[in-house]
Chains A and B, each alone.
Chain A
Amino acid sequence: GAVVSQHPSWVICKSGTSVKIECRSLDFQATTMFWYRQFPKQSLMLMATSNEGSKATYEQGVEKDKFLINHASLTLSTLTVTSAHPEDSSFYICSAPRVTNYEQYFGPGTRLTVT
């Protein structure tokens, strides 16, 4: 089946530094990808829509200057958490839709810890 990968799977960084997370669709092209955030024991919240060839669309309350999204190709989207703070510690999950079967494929997630 379709696979979406993420890298890294976990990262620890110091407060004030930036972290880049990659999301790749491995066997299908995705003009659109999505980034979600999940805090412990909570549900997933949509952060932004990553669009290949154009700017990302951010959900209300998500700082676009803090969470930089780049959709470099039809198979790669990146999320950069800039000037990370401890409150940014979370589980970040990307997804890519496959329009042929209406499925939404989720990556394995990246656990970010900011110290």
Chain B
Amino acid sequence: ELKVEQNPLFLSMQEGKNYTIYCNYSTTSDRLYWYRQDPGKSLESLFVLLSNGAVKQEGRLMASLDTKARLSTLHITAAVHDLSATYFCAVDSVKGSQGNLIFGKGTKLSVKP
């Protein structure tokens, strides 16, 4: 059974600081996704990582994937208040298929001034 673990589950940061969220998964998978969720809202796609060594960056967020270690990281650089949200990683659970996602528990990020 595929399991996806995120840590930390809660993260309180000061503006301007850097931090990393970790996502481990238990079996091989074709793809890893990162999403953002604001309170009361649905998911906003951040990154899709397709292969070992993949690195993607958008603004203050950078995601990477190490398929051998079954580990993805979401790095936050110089955090700002607008980044406060819950971040989920997710993995395709069915090889060769797209969309049967198993999610981590989420990391609730709070950025304080």
The one of A32, A46, A103, A109 in contact with B41, judged by C-beta atoms closer than 8 angstroms, is: A109
A77 at the interface (CB under 8 A from B): no
B98–A97 touching, CB < 8 Å: yes
C-alpha gap A6/B90 in the complex (Å): 22
Q: Are A93 and B43 in contact (CB under 8 A)?
A: yes
Binds A, one of B16-24, B63-71, B76-84, B100-108: B100-108
Total count of chain B residues near the partner, CB < 8 A:
21
Distance in Å from the Cβ of B52 to the closest Cβ of chain A?
A: 15
Known contacts A99-B98, A104-B33; A45/B103 CB under 8 A? yes
Residues of B within 8 A of A102 (CB): 31, 48, 50, 98
CB-contact partner of A104 in B41, B93, B98, B105, under 8 A: B98
Chain A interface mostly helix, strand, loop or mixed?
strand
Give the bracket for the number of chain A residues in contact with chain B.
20 to 34
Q: Could you tell me which residues of chain A, from 18 to 45, have a CB within 8 Å of some CB in chain B?
A: 32, 34, 36, 42-45
16 further A-B contacts with Cβ under 8 Å, apart from A101-B48, A102-B98, are A32-B99, A34-B101, A44-B88, A46-B93, A49-B100, A93-B42, A97-B98, A99-B98, A104-B33, A105-B45, A106-B35, A106-B42, A106-B45, A107-B42, A108-B42, A109-B41
Q: Which residues of B contact A (CB under 8 A)?
A: 31, 33, 35, 41-43, 45, 48, 50, 88, 90, 93, 98-106
